[in-house]
Amino acid sequence: MIKIVETVPNFSEGRNKNKIERIMAVFSEHPEIRVIGCEPDADYNRTVVTLLGDPDLMQAALLDFVKRVKEEVDLNVHSGQHPRMGAVDVIPFIPISGTTIKECVEYAKDLGKRVTTELDIPVFLYAEAATEESRIALPNIRKGEFEGMKTKIKDPLWHPDFGKSEIHPTFGVVAIGARQPLIAYNIDLATDDEKLAGSIAKAIRKSSGGYQFIQAGPASLAERGHVQVTMNILDYKKNPIYRIFETVRMEALRYHVEVTGAEIVGLLPREALERSIDYYFDVHSVDISVSDLSLEDLVGYAVKYLKFRDFDSHKIIEAYL
Amino acid sequence: MIKIVETVPNFSEGRNKNKIERIMAVFSEHPEIRVIGCEPDADYNRTVVTLLGDPDLMQAALLDFVKRVKEEVDLNVHSGQHPRMGAVDVIPFIPISGTTIKECVEYAKDLGKRVTTELDIPVFLYAEAATEESRIALPNIRKGEFEGMKTKIKDPLWHPDFGKSEIHPTFGVVAIGARQPLIAYNIDLATDDEKLAGSIAKAIRKSSGGYQFIQAGPASLAERGHVQVTMNILDYKKNPIYRIFETVRMEALRYHVEVTGAEIVGLLPREALERSIDYYFDVHSVDISVSDLSLEDLVGYAVKYLKFRDFDSHKIIEAYL
């Protein structure tokens, strides 16, 4: 089976279109790497990039990417809502096909070494690649941001995994790691009452007693004029989408608020859709095997049963494999 | 506010009615302690007793109870399905009214000291009263049972919290501790397929990714001719009964199996009912404040909305306060 990893690097520029274009142009020199997403955000002053491809070619492309960002971004003159400690702040490797989380840890380490050796940028390994408990959660590493890292990195507890205990003067430092895929999933509620979305989020998320693999909170979509329950599903096998969707519906019932839609941010694996559509096939006695469905069919049923909006087969990882 | 604790001691006799009567007669000497339940089980060869009352009077009654059991039960000639290490195996103190879990830890310790001093029985403190991590879970302490405890207690890791490192020759040892109230809650499914109940249990219980405060498994009720999802709700505020009930219904839909009833084993606090009935009042736009309802009214709504069977106000702790 062909090896495919997903990576989701970001960089600290979300306003200057020319700069963003010059940075993204690096991937045209790596045509074997697919650019699935490029989402600049002006408030955050940050751009999130989603990439798919062969692990070795991915490492080469990311090295060029980090080099280009280093040339274009100076954090000494950067401001924005998003906390950041590096011009490229984080690079997660995610196993998609023919590869494992263990191998992704190795890819992360290999890239980390090269970033330090070839570009003189200190590297912290995080998530599954972390070398210490305190470095698993990215916010722990990032605390203090670019500005605070200048002194933090001299603390023996916060020496980087690769490189010397001194930040790069314009780039800062970067966290590189490996993690399992997650599904970013939001459910639309026909109300502008954010408190209500917060109550529902509380009912379903792990941190307040709900489902084990759900992170959730309220979000207000000012332009769309309604609120959402915004979520990460960390394990779609143990906490399938349909169960979260139906539990949110059940909670919304008491507020007499309609669940009007749902969206996937980024990508999700085909199997996550199959598992949930299969539930509704069972409920409605539809005698179709989900594994026989085309990606287009899966999209149709996801819209029908799960109320997905702005959804097409390009949201399904298998469209790129 | 008057202080009330619940305790749920058991003793290792579930067959000999005369013996059970002689043991239970001890409580007639303590009329201020209410005997809420006395459930002998022949298969287990064990009886579970549920008591409510003032903490100080409770300690006096339990000391007499342990003394009486010591006279009546010899574990050297006891057999039964239930694992046990003592003629009285376990005594949990549970805060009900006007008292806290911290105070219950102190009640447990006080009783423990007296059981050792006055009756020469070694005592392990467990659950919230545990003095070591390894003693929190009762099964850890009980492992090896009466027979194995003879040597286990000599291991420095398993010296008792009170008393010498030698079991009482006929009684064994006893675990005394403190824990929060839990609700033992079972949902009936109109099928004899235990595997199906197992799948639903897996969807909702913490250990396989479900709700944080739910323990659940399948149970087959041979005499009633159907299966159950059998549960403990460890925190009814964070995992209210209605949410568990509706989630089980949602999962059962895919199997086209009806949820026909539900039962509470032992007691539950009024507030647990109020929280769940309030959900259905919201859903059905019933404009009644749950706090205004009598216990009888609460029972009626619980039967209507939550399909409780074999349920009356004597299942509600407040009936005894």
Place of tokens 């070694």: B122
From B208, B211, B285, residue closest to A210, measured CB to CB: B211
User: Cα distance from A273 to chain B (closest Cα, Å)?
Assistant: 16
Paired tokens of B262: 């539900």
Contact B159, B153 (CB under 8 A): yes
Residue-level pLDDT at B200: 98
Asked if B127 and B95 count as a contact pair (C-beta separation under 8 A), the reply is no
Burial B120-146 (b: 16+ CB within 10 A, else e): ebbbbbbbbbbeeeebbebeebbeebb
CA-CA distance, B318 to B305, in Å (whole number)? 21
Report pLDDT for A221.
84
The pTM of this model reads 0.81
- What is the per-residue burial (b if ≥16 Cβ within 10 Å, else e) of A86-105? bbbbbbbbbbbbebebebbb
Please state, in angstroms and rounded to a whole number, the distance separating the CA atoms of residues B191 and B199. Answer: 13
Q: Does B284 touch chain A (CB under 8 A)?
A: no
**A69 residue type, one letter:** V
CA distance B283 to A254: 4
Kindly list the residues from chain A whose CB atom is less than 8 angstroms away from the CB atom of residue B238: 208-209
pLDDT at B60: 97
Alpha helices in chain B (DSSP H): 17-24, 55-72, 101-119, 138-142, 145-152, 194-204, 241-253, 270-283, 295-306
Interface check B205 vs A, CB under 8 A: no
Is the pLDDT at A176 greater than 80? The verdict is yes
Q: Which pLDDT value is given to residue A282?
A: 98
Contact B238 A209 (CB under 8 A): yes
d(CA A55, CA B69): 69
- Residue A129 Cα to chain centre, angstroms: 16
Pick from B154, B53, B134: which is nearest to B95 by CA?
B53
| DSSP bridge pairs for B39 | B48
* Nearest CA among A25, A27, A29, A23 for reference residue A7: A27
Sign (positive or negative) of CA dihedral A220, A223, A224, A225: positive
Cα–Cα distance for residue pair B52/B68, rounded to 1 Å: 19
Q: Residue B283 is nearest to which of A209, A253, A279, comparing CB atoms?
A: A253
Task: Show Cβ contacts of residue B216 under 8 Å, excluding neighbours closer than 6 positions.
Answer: B201, B202, B204, B205, B210, B229, B230, B231, B232
Burial level of B28, CB count in 10 A (0-12/13-18/19+)?
Answer: exposed
Q: Are strands A123-127 and A214-221 parallel, antiparallel or unpaired?
A: unpaired
Nearest partner of B265 among B182, B170, B203, judged by Cα: B182
What pLDDT, in 10s, does the model give residues A255-312?
A: 999 999 999 988 899 999 999 999 999 999 999 999 999 999 999 999 999 999 999 9
- If DSSP codes are grouped into helix, strand and coil, which group holds residue B227? strand
Note the pLDDT of residue B81. Answer: 66
- In this complex, the residue of B213, B243, B256 whose CB is nearest that of residue A203 is B243
Summary mean pLDDT of chain A: 95
Encode chain B (321 residues) as per-residue pLDDT tens digits. Answer: 789 999 999 999 999 999 999 999 999 999 999 998 898 888 778 898 999 999 999 999 999 999 999 999 999 998 876 679 999 999 999 999 899 999 999 999 999 999 999 999 999 999 999 999 999 989 899 999 999 999 999 999 999 999 999 999 999 999 999 998 899 899 999 999 999 999 999 999 999 999 999 999 998 887 789 999 999 999 999 999 999 999 999 999 999 999 999 999 888 999 999 999 999 999 999 999 999 999 999 999 999 999 999 999 999 988 887
Which of the residues B208, B215, B250, B278 would you substitute to probe the A interface, choosing the one with the greatest number of A C-beta atoms within 10 Å?
Answer: B250
3-state secondary structure labels for all residues of chain A: CCCEEEECCEECCCCCHHHHHHHHHHHHHCCCCEEEEEEEECCCCEEEEEEEECHHHHHHHHHHHHHHHHHHCCHHHCCCCCCCCECCCEEEEEEEECCCHHHHHHHHHHHHHHHHHHHCCCEEEEECCCCCHHHCCHHHHHCCHHHHHHHHCCCHHHCCCECCCCCECCCECEEEEECCCCEEEEEEECCCCHHHHHHHHHHHCHHHCCECCEEEEEEEECCCCEEEEEEEECCCCCCCHHHHHHHHHHHHHCCCCCEEEEEEECCECHHHHHHHHHHHHHHCCCCCCHHHCCHHHHHHHHHHHHCECCCCHHHEHHHHC
- Per-residue model confidence as pLDDT tens digits over A114-162: 999 999 999 999 999 999 999 998 989 999 999 999 999 999 999 999 9
Cβ atoms of A87 and A184 within 8 Å: the answer is: no
A147 Cα to chain B: minimum distance (Å): 39
Angle at B252 between CA B247 and CA B253, to 5 degrees: 100
- Does B159 participate in catalysis according to the annotation? no
Distance (Å, whole) CA A178 – CA B301:
51
Distance (Å, whole) CA B95 – CA B307: 28
**What is residue B274's three-state secondary structure?**
helix
Residue ranges of domains in chain A, CATH in brackets: 4-178 (3.30.990.10), 183-320 (3.30.70.670)
Would you call A151 an interface residue with chain B, using a CB distance cutoff of 8 Å?
no
**Candidates B196, B202, B235, B243, partner chain A, best to mutate (most A CBs within 10 A):** B243
| Alpha carbon distance A267, A51 (integer Å) | 11
Q: What are phi and psi of A3, to 5 degrees?
A: -85, 125
Determine how many CB atoms are found less than 10 A away from the CB of residue B43: 10
Rounded to whole angstroms, the Cα distance separating B125 from A149 reads: 47
Q: Which residues of B touch A251 (CB under 8 A)?
A: 243
Both tokens of A265, joined, read 């941010």
pLDDT of B119: 98
Pull the structure tokens for residue B61: 């009654």
Confidence of residue A81 (pLDDT cuts 50, 70, 90): low
Integer Rg of chain B from CA:
21
Contact (Cβ atoms closer than 8 angstroms) between residue A316 and residue A270: yes
Can you tell me whether residue B154 is helix, strand or coil?
A: coil
